[in-house]
Amino acid sequence: MTQATPRRANRREFVARLLAGVPDALVITGLGSATYDVFAAQDRDHNYYLWGAMGGAAPMGLGLALAQPDRPVVVITGDGEHLMGIGSLATIGAKQPKNLTVVILDNGHFGETGMQRSHSSLGTDLVAVAKGFGIADAFTVDTLAGCDDVVHRIQARAGVAYAQIFIEADEPPRALPPRDGPFIKNRFRVALGLQPF
Amino acid sequence: MSPSSTTAPAWQEAVFKVLKQGGVRQIAYVPDAGHSHAIRSAIADPDIEDIVLTTEEEGVALVCGAWLGGQRAVLLMQSSGVGNCVNMFSLLQAADFPFFTLVTMRGEYAEFNPWQGPMGKATQAALELMGIHVLRVSHPDEAEEIISAGFDAAFEAGEKVAVLLGQNLIGRKKWERN
């Protein structure tokens, strides 16, 4: 089966442009390459990097978005991580948090484990799935310039949005953020002005 | 809808009382009859977000996201859901998040359905294997104290706590429809 689209963005360029456009957004990253992409673009106190908990990025973003309704929240994850927790899109569709945007970096493969093909290059249409779960503002992006549409949605906080980004199935150099979960948790909370218990 | 407070068992009212007085702002759940009062109360409360999940492990990640954003959130589920959560419990340990869940038990007392047995009997051990402290309520008159004790351990000391609501507390499930 051929790829669904011939045009694809470079993942590192895309994520760098996205983060540059949303300086105040709270970001949750899914394990694997999405975590590396976000760290490579810009390490910020209000990034939360997952190194495990596969399938958990989107529901974690939902809990954060409900807790911080006045801040834009962005989940940036890969197609494989996302598919493991795909039901969480139904949960997000039920809640419709206006300040949450889910960004899927879709290379159609499990990049971390040897580039095995994933469902999104074997027949799954993620935008149709998102729409089916009640997320009306779901769309694809296949160019770097298309990043600006995603930035606009994030900044507007006018409704939950879902962006499937077709990216090249390459393997950029590793860029490894801290693996110390309590450190990145506490750093994140301090950035929001929250106190220790 | 008639006020649920007039019909729910006292121990179910104690559950929501502890959560509300403890400042919980998000209640995530996969439904169970034993949680019905807390779920109804959450839906009716303008200060609490009720979040229905497709599977329980979503709730583990969701309550961590809420804590990251400064809110207390709890997970309500049935014992079968604990099995769905096992790998996601890693998040609690790896990042040391506070965690509080209430688990209605099946498969342990006057159980009618054999399909509830395997996970029900493994629930406490599965939680403990993943580093979660387990408390249990068996009698209605101890419900508020034990639930409150677990809640405080979670949100005052940062512990990961599950309170099992025993099947003998909940009562026998009625299988006949009249």
Q: What is the pLDDT of residue A5?
A: 52
Q: Tell me B6's DSSP state.
A: G
- Mean pLDDT, range A122-148, rounded to an integer: 97
Q: What is the pLDDT of residue A4?
A: 53
Q: Looking at residue B5, what is its pLDDT?
A: 47
pLDDT value for A197:
84
What is the rounded CA–CA span in Å between residue A172 and residue A8?
15
**A45/A184 Cα distance (integer angstroms):** 8
Q: What is the ipTM of this complex?
A: 0.95
On chain A, the residues whose CB falls within 8 A of the CB of B69 are 26, 63-68, 192
Helix axis angle, B56-68 to A88-95, nearest 10°:
60
Q: What pLDDT was estimated at residue B2? A: 45
Question: Is pLDDT at B159 greater than 60 in this prediction?
Answer: yes
Cα gap B73→B61, rounded to integer Å: 11
> What confidence score (pLDDT) does residue B171 get?
85
Q: Which residues of B touch A (CB under 8 A)?
A: 25-26, 28, 49, 51-55, 57-71, 73, 87-88, 90-91, 94-98, 155-158
Q: What is the pLDDT of residues B48-78, one digit of tens each?
A: 999 999 999 999 999 999 999 999 999 999 9
pLDDT of residue B4: 46
Contact residues, chain A, for B71 at CB < 8 Å:
63, 66-67
Among A21-30, A70-79, A109-118, A136-145, the range scoring the smallest mean pLDDT is A109-118
The 10s digit of each residue's pLDDT in B166-178 is 999 998 777 777 6
| pLDDT of the residue at B11 | 94
- Count CA atoms closer than 13 A to A9's CA, side-chain side: 23
Burial of B122 (0-12, 13-18, 19+ CB in 10 A): middle
